[in-house]
Structure 1
């Protein structure tokens, strides 16, 4: 009798196992949580602006520490907006609102999600070295065309800063040619001129590590062609926030000020490698990044 009772108990437990498994599956479905290693690769698009490179590489490292696969794709800024809007990219780190990138928001904003700001009170415009003491306004430039060669060294074509500079040239009747290139090429021109104390005019923006390495000044823009101070936000494709809720929560806690962002960009510039520089900065600022990711 005892033996039969024992066998019945074993059989009952065996039959209950599938039900327990079904119960676990149901619980997993309710929570909607998926382990990072089971999720698709997060695609981040970025353009060649120093702070964009810095932020993108920093978040690649931080998200990979949490178990996510992350891929960075370098492209022109307009292509980044289009990529997020079309769902080919998951996110873009750097969008200036409400002025500089507003036309991109107007064109693509219905197809991506604007997230929280991570940097406040930007600035952009035409910049010259401090040693050009008599050049303080955009309206002064024509008087120094011969000294500067009548050239403004810019960044990649299609960037909002380049479009605004074209507007400024027309508005103030500046008799200069705007030379499109890349941030790296522009900074090379600036460095060579600066080392020889030669006149030069470049397009620049804040935040940027150049203001820590060189004595520079923005030229006054009396009619505010370059707009007022912006905030920098990141954007995500439609549906990303639902699929990657934990990632979105972490990144919406992310804040930079001039000191923290300037230090990160400086580490990358000195290292000569974005991943190496970003990793060094993370290691030395672990308490700060833990506030974002934990």
Structure 2
């Protein structure tokens, strides 16, 4: 039942984000955070791009709350990964809170690196790759073709524009995998994973960490001896060119920002529990005010 509830909240998560994006300015009271006891000068509007992944949604809503506490109005723009980069490069967005390098976002970074500004690392040792339940008796991408029939000749993926999908296409070619890569979404992939897991059926999916699903299911990455998925990424944030000149204090705060498995996991888990990433961000910030205050200096 816990797993079903978590998956349900994951699917609700994205829907709530869309609602909050559309209504954020309606309940903004001049830049004051809810419950603030002082008037804060309105410092203008900041536009954050956000990809429809649970971790990305969590930290972007967190920064929405923190920046609004400081007097900014914040707009969230839900987009796939490619359009987020394009928006930064064209100056239509101000910040992308999650950039994974050197591997996962490498194609976008190579295309746009002269038109965006890469800032500091806030989370280290991101992982990604093809993932199976631990009860599956294979350990490497090189073994997949020997069991293709058992996996129905398919890899269950997420949205087509995600970097992990591009890398999986490379992996299929590099390892000669006789599999079809299914394009879907994170919630749809998780739903299929849950169904297979409960019945101890074979399934292979595209996944990454940090992700709450690793704490709820016993899963393992398949070994990638050819390093198609790299040896691990770090998560940076990026801004449009000139944003630091316009808002140096914001970049300073975000350069101070650091999270680990525990802090990010707590934020994501709270979002799943509440079914509302904005309310989760507000509660998490209040529960971790000492940590947040270290960033906002």
- The TM-score, its normalising length taken from structure 2, stands at 0.84
Counterpart for residue 126 of structure 2: 122
Alpha-carbon distance between aligned partners in 1 of 2:40 and 2:140, rounded to the nearest angstrom = 52
Counterpart for residue 201 of structure 2: 198
Alpha-carbon distance between aligned partners in 2 of 1:283 and 1:148, rounded to the nearest angstrom = 45
Counterpart for residue 145 of structure 2: 142
Coordinate RMSD, CA, aligned: 1.4
Given the alignment, which residue of 44, 59, 77 partners 1:40?
44
Displacement of 1:37:
4.0
Alignment of 1:1-294 (within 5 A): 37-132=41-136, 134-294=137-297
CA-to-partner distance for each residue in 1:57-100, whole Å, 9 max, x for gaps?
Answer: 01001111111100101011000000001000001011111222
What SS does the aligned partner of 2:184 have?
coil
Q: Is the 8 A contact 1:115 1:234 kept in 2?
A: yes
Alpha-carbon distance between aligned partners in 2 of 1:194 and 1:276, rounded to the nearest angstrom = 31
Alpha-carbon distance between aligned partners in 2 of 1:85 and 1:48, rounded to the nearest angstrom = 20
CA-to-partner distance for each residue in 1:11-54, whole Å, 9 max, x for gaps?
Answer: xxxxxxxxxxxxxxxxxxxxxxxx97443310000111221111
What SS does the aligned partner of 1:136 have?
coil
CA-to-partner distance for each residue in 1:169-200, whole Å, 9 max, x for gaps?
Answer: 11111111100111111111111211222111
- The TM-score, its normalising length taken from structure 1, stands at 0.85
Alpha-carbon distance between aligned partners in 2 of 1:277 and 1:143, rounded to the nearest angstrom = 44
What SS does the aligned partner of 1:199 have?
coil
CA-to-partner distance for each residue in 1:224-262, whole Å, 9 max, x for gaps?
Answer: 111121111010011110111111111110001111111
What SS does the aligned partner of 2:91 have?
coil
What SS does the aligned partner of 1:156 have?
coil
Displacement of 1:123:
1.0
Q: Is the 8 A contact 2:42 2:71 kept in 1?
A: no
Displacement of 1:136:
0.7
Q: 1:188 to 1:286 in 2, by over 3 A?
A: same
Poorly superposed stretches of 4+, deviation over 3 Å: 35-39
5+ residue gaps, structure 1: 1-34
Displacement of 1:146:
2.0
5+ residue gaps, structure 2: 1-38
Q: Does 109-118 or 270-279 show the bigger shift?
A: 270-279
Q: Is the 8 A contact 1:250 1:293 kept in 2?
A: yes
When you count helix as a share of all residues, which structure comes out higher?
A: 1
